[in-house]
């Protein structure tokens, strides 16, 4: 009845404009009028509703929560809009500056699947754009999955480059980066969370699964990490990386070789995390490639396999330097660090925790487990400093260098060069105290159960080596070489508790220290039942707490040694 009334009223109105109008034309007029009114109403509502989202390149920018002052991310479109080169300056109705978008505060309110999107990093640094993210990003405990990026970018990750940014409470799952192109001699940085971070915080962040593949030129200077490529003055807290595969390709496009049995063993033992490189990169690490002046607490690289032909490679970081670097409670579990080819005479540093440690870094209550191998195909590679915890510790020429306190290395180490159960080479006034190495050590060069070489006014005290040792040029249960380099070194109140030392030269195969210059061994002991073999013959031992063979100590005495 009401429809009929409306129809006749509309016909009456229409007849004033078109006399003799038919029923059909009248109905068309009514429909047209209806849809016109609907459109007007929608426009009016959009104008009066200040919370409506703003469209940026076909993706909606997240709405701001006035109470918290943060933009709430609920969809993949929201995240893509933020990443679009700082939203190209059109993201906010009250600001046309990309800098605002990259300095804003964001919080996730749902899990987000980015599958199908070709990702552009938030804070993108490439040939034409230099936007840096300086805001905060709180994942709210939610997961971002399906993150993918390909092509040529200097900084690669969920975030490209950040400065004083805070990134926390987020899990990234199944990222897939395929980075190709000629970087020339530019440094490139790759990490699933961020390519490069300068200042700021990475807290309560987890990275699970995924793959990073990088094809770079022979002279590319790159830093690659499972979470962050390069970090400067960043605080890492409760960061976990597990199950990430990172592979770099040679210029010819050939990937690192892996046979089926290796891959099978990774999955059978849940050892699915792999960091690999076959180029002379600067640094490759399970969590970060290169770290400087950073602080690390309670962070873990789990089930990592670091395979690198980099200058420095480690289960946690390839290279660590900086006077204020500190690490406490960090763990490297089931690590395998190894090279896959020779690097043309360059020094290579490989460690269960870090390949190269410089200046005045501080480590406390950190530990590693797994294996460290420097290999050229199936053979040990040359020019290597390898250690179960650190490959090469260069320290500082003034004051105190790197310090390690209550750190553990449960790692087997195999390499050529300077090889130790804890450190390959300890130099630069560095200090190790109350620390232990338990893995076996093997080298065609110089092998020590705890350290390959200690030099340049460095010191080791109240520490223990418990692994079997096999060496070429020299082999010893604790230190292969004790050299002064113009400044005396000291090893005091330490133990060599391994069962066997095997070497090739009787004069440089010893229970405690093989080669000593200006002997600095004080109150040190070796396992009473340790067997020393050189040239296939059992060697006579001369026990002394101040000599190369150390004093005799039984297992019971060792358990109470030092109080």
Residues 294 and 353 placed together within one structural domain of the fold: no
> In Å, how far are 15, 35, 57, 129, 276 from 287, measured between CA atoms?
78, 58, 34, 27, 13
88 belongs to a structural domain: no
Residues 442 and 491 placed together within one structural domain of the fold: yes
Residues 341 and 462 placed together within one structural domain of the fold: yes
- pLDDT digits 0-9 by tens, 463-494: 999 999 999 999 999 999 998 776 788 999 99
pLDDT at 112: 96
Distant-in-sequence, close-in-space partners of 171: CB < 8 Å, separation ≥ 6: 139, 141, 142, 143, 144, 205, 206, 207, 208
Query: Which domain range does residue 149 map to?
Result: 111-253+272-310
Residues 226 and 367 placed together within one structural domain of the fold: no
71 belongs to a structural domain: no
433 belongs to a structural domain: yes
Residues 294 and 327 placed together within one structural domain of the fold: no
Residues 298 and 360 placed together within one structural domain of the fold: no
Domain count, the chain: 3
For residue 417, is pLDDT > 80? Answer: yes
Query: Between residues 12 and 88, which one has the greater pLDDT?
Result: 12
What is the average pLDDT value for the chain, to the nearest integer?
78
| CATH code for position 433 | 2.160.20.110
96 belongs to a structural domain: no
Nearest to 192 by CA among 286, 270, 272: 286
Q: Residue 169's pLDDT band (boundaries 50, 70, 90)?
A: very high
Residues 367 and 494 placed together within one structural domain of the fold: yes
Query: Between residues 171 and 13, which one has the greater pLDDT?
Result: 171
Residue linked to tokens 């060496």: 471
Residues 146 and 174 placed together within one structural domain of the fold: yes
19 belongs to a structural domain: yes
Query: Between residues 116 and 303, which one has the greater pLDDT?
Result: 116
Residues 298 and 345 placed together within one structural domain of the fold: no
Residues 500 and 519 placed together within one structural domain of the fold: yes
CB 510 within 8 A of CB 481: no
pLDDT at 254: 38
For residue 183, is pLDDT > 70? Answer: no
For residue 347, is pLDDT > 80? Answer: no
CB 59 within 8 A of CB 68: no
Residues 301 and 331 placed together within one structural domain of the fold: no
186 belongs to a structural domain: yes
- pLDDT digits 0-9 by tens, 515-547: 998 778 999 999 999 999 998 899 989 899 999
- pLDDT digits 0-9 by tens, 188-203: 889 999 999 999 999 9
146 belongs to a structural domain: yes
pLDDT at 15: 56
Dihedral (CA of 95, 100, 102, 107) sign: negative
56 belongs to a structural domain: no
Q: CA gyration radius for the chain?
A: 31
Residues 330 and 301 placed together within one structural domain of the fold: no
pLDDT at 308: 64
């Amino acid at each position: 009845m009401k429809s009929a009334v409306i129809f006749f009223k509309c016909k009456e109105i229409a007849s004033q404009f078109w006399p003799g109008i038919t029923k059909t034309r009248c109905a068309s007029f009514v429909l047209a009028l209806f849809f016109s009114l609907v459109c007007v109403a929608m426009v009016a509502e959009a104008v009066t509703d200040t919370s409506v989202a703003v469209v940026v390149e076909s993706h909606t920018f997240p709405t701001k929560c006035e109470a918290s002052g943060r933009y709430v991310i609920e969809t993949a479109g929201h995240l893509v809009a933020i990443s679009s080169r700082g939203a190209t300056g059109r993201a906010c109705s009250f600001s046309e500056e990309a800098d605002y978008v990259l300095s804003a505060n964001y919080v996730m309110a749902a899990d987000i699947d980015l599958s199908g999107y070709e990702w552009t990093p938030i804070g993108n640094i490439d040939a034409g754009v230099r936007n840096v993210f300086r805001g905060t990003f709180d994942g709210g405990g939610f997961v971002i999955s399906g993150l993918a990026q390909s092509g040529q970018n200097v900084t690669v990750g969920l975030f490209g480059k950040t400065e004083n940014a805070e990134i926390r409470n987020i899990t990234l799952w199944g990222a897939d980066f395929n980075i190709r192109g000629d970087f020339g001699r530019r440094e490139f940085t790759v990490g699933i969370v961020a390519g490069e971070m300068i200042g700021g915080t990475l807290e309560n962040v987890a990275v699970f699964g995924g793959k990073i593949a990088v094809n770079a030129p022979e002279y590319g200077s790159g830093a690659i990490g499972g979470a962050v490529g390069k970090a400067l003055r960043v605080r890492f807290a409760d960061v976990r990386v597990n199950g990430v595969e990172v592979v770099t390709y040679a210029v010819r496009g050939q990937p690192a070789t892996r046979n089926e049995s290796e891959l099978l063993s990774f999955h059978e033992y849940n050892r699915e995390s792999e960091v690999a490189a076959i180029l002379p990169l600067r640094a490759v690490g399970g969590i970060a490639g290169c770290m400087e002046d950073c602080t690390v607490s309670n962070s873990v690289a789990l089930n990592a396999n670091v395979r690198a032909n980099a200058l420095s490679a480690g289960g946690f970081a390839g290279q660590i330097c900086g006077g204020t670097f500190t690490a406490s409670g960090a763990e490297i579990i089931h690590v395998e660090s190894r090279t896959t080819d020779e690097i043309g005479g360059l020094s290579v540093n490989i460690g269960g925790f870090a390949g190269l440690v410089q200046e005045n870094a501080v480590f406390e209550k950190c530990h590693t487990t797994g294996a460290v191998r420097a290999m050229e195909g199936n053979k040990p590679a040359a020019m290597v400093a390898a250690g179960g915890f650190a490959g090469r510790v260069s320290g500082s020429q003034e004051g105190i260098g790197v310090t390690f306190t209550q750190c553990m290395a449960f790692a087997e180490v195999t390499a050529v060069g300077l090889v130790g159960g804890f450190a390959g080479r300890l130099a630069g006034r560095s200090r190790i105290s109350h620390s232990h190495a338990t893995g076996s050590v093997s080298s065609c060069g110089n092998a020590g159960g705890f350290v390959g070489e200690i030099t340049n006014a460095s010191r080791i005290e109240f520490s223990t080596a418990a692994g079997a040792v096999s060496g070429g040029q020299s082999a010893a249960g604790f230190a292969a070489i004790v050299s002064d380099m113009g400044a005396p070194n000291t090893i005091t109140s330490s133990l060599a508790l391994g069962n066997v030392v095997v070497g090739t030269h009787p004069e440089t195969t010893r229970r405690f220290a093989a080669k000593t210059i200006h002997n600095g061994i004080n109150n040190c002991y070796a396992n009473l039942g340790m067997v020393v073999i050189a040239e296939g013959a059992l060697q006579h031992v001369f026990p002394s707490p101040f000599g190369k063979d150390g004093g005799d100590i039984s297992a019971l005495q060792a358990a109470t040694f030092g109080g």
